[in-house]
Every structure is written in structure tokens, then in C-alpha cells.
Structure 1
Amino acid sequence: MADPLSLPEPCFDYEACLTACAQGDHQALRALYTQESARLLGVARRIAGDNALAEDIVHDAFIRIWTKAASFDPALGTARGWIFSVTRHLALNFMRNNARLVPINQDHEDASHTPSGFDLHGHSGRIYDCLEQLQPARRDCLLHAYVDGYSHGQIAEKLGTPLGTVKAWIKRSLAALRECMG
């Protein structure tokens, strides 16, 4: 089977589309999507092993292609190769970053969360006492990261808080927990 990147595409100018994307041309992005989304979905599906996840990865890849089109350097490879590389790297990074996650069943999730966040009352133990001492937003950041398995970016989006703030809160909250548990 031939490598999809080695197949000639004489009618489509990938480099011109990336240049146009870098200049804010939405039609160029649409053309790239029409031209390659099915093949990129195949790449993401092979890596992720899940169609819905692969669709999310391709969506994120096109956002990255749109926002980073100006960084494409033809001296380093073809524009089509760069597009496939963006998708492949996102898929691999997602799989690597989420390999440690354990799915939580819906019953557990519904029982442990209140509409406003996490319910820590009713649990005994020192860790829960220490978590209660944290400010609610910081505690929620920790729990989203270590219970729900959210990335820092997902937490920032969920809470409507800047990414740097979320990272700082998690770092400081972990230090506070260490001290409290000491």
C-alpha cells in the first residue's frame, strides 16, 4: 500500500493554501479541510483507536493548522507533510497525555459532584480535611486534574480562568496539601 503522503496531488496547492491561511483566508482553510479531512481522520483514528476521539483530534489539528500556518517552512518539507505532521503529533500527544487516565463511570461521577463543584463532606480522612482548607476554585482545579483527569487547558476552559492561573493554583495547592498532610 502506498504512503498517502507520497501520492501526487497535482491539482491542489497546499503551500498556497497554508500561505492564505496565515493571511486569514477562511476559504483556504475550508479547501484544506475538504481536501484532507478524511485522510487526516484516518491517521488520527489509527493512532487513537476511536472514531469520536479521532474527530476531536482532527478538529484540533485544523485549529492548529489555522493558527500556526505562518510557521510552515517549505525548506523543512512539503506543506501536505506539515499538515499530516500536525495531526499526527496532536494524536500522539493526546494518547501520551491521557494514557494514565482511568474512566469514571457515570454513577460515581453523579454521586461525587454537586452542581456547583465537588462534595467533600461525608468523607473522612485527613486528605479531605486538607482539601477543605483550600479555596474552592483551587480545590476544584486539583480535583478536575487528579479525579476527572482533565488537562490544565481543559480546566482553564471549564472554569473560565487563564491557563497560567490554573497551573499556578494547582502547583500551590499541591504544596499546601503536602504541608497540611506533613
Structure 2
Amino acid sequence: MPTSSASADIADLITRCSLRDRGAFRTLYNRTSAKLFGVVLRILRDRAEAEEAIQEVYVKIWQRADRFVAGQYSPISWLVAVARNHALDIVRARRPASQELDEAMEIADEGPSPETLVGASEDGQRIEACMAQLEPDRAEAVKGAYLDGYSYEELAERYAVPLNTMRTWLRRSLIKLRECLTA
């Protein structure tokens, strides 16, 4: 874990990069590239693709260094966010293109009937009421894991807690939700 002095050094390097200091950029790369490469590789799961992506990440860091506000975010968190968002953009771009609109119009509507929607709406209200009984960060973590598809690792990183703590949060939150919904 970086010390506050190391964090301040990295914040200073980012600030100097915003002033187009190439030496600071080189130093920033040398100090942070291993960590950011790990983040990108974990998301992309392909070393060659991650190596190419990390190059693009540092181009973005160079171009956007002026957007970093010291004190608002930890400098490492800001750098990781740039890397993570770029890697997620690559993953999203891998998804197959949408069908043509004409083809989509020919697909039968297999959606629920109006009666089913009313029942689902009532269930949804009950679920929302039970979710409101959870601590806000726990409720957001549950939504992130089970509605948005974030991994436990991603949520642990987002909430700055150990992986096992995140697992415990989610398990206990699901138990509370089940108890609330069956009451």
C-alpha cells in the first residue's frame, strides 16, 4: 500500500504531466505501469490485448492529466479508474453488433403479460422496501453484484474493502433480504 508521501509524489507527477513534463510522465509510467497493467490484464484476460491497452491508457493519462484534482481522489485511484474504464470499453466493444432494426421488428414480443407486470411491480416494490432496510453501501453492493454484473473483486476494489469482507457483506445482505421478503 503506498504511503501518503508516495501518493503525494504520484499526485505531483500527474500535475507535472498536465504541464507536459515528459520526464514526469516517464517517471509516472515507471512507478505505476505494473499496477495498471495488472488491472487491465485482470479485465481483458489476454496479455497481448492488455499490453496494447496499457499503451492507450497512458496516452489518455497524458491527455487528461489536467482533469486530475489533487485531494479529490487518491492519485492511484484516479489512475486505476482511467485504466479500468478503458479496459471495460474494450470489453464492451467486443460484444456483437445489434441486429438491424427491420430484423428486430419481426421478433415476437415474448415479454410478460400486463397481469404479470402488475404482479412484478408489487414484487418490485417489496424488494425496494427491503433493500431500503440495508445499509446504503451494502444495498449498492448487492445491486452492483446481482443487477449490474460486477464481480466480487470489482466491488471490493470499489468499496476499498478486502475480498472476503465483500463476500460477507453480500451474503449477510441476501440473508436480510430473504428474511424481509418472507416476513
Output the TM-score relative to the length of structure 2.
Answer: 0.49
Indicate the structure with greater helix content: 2
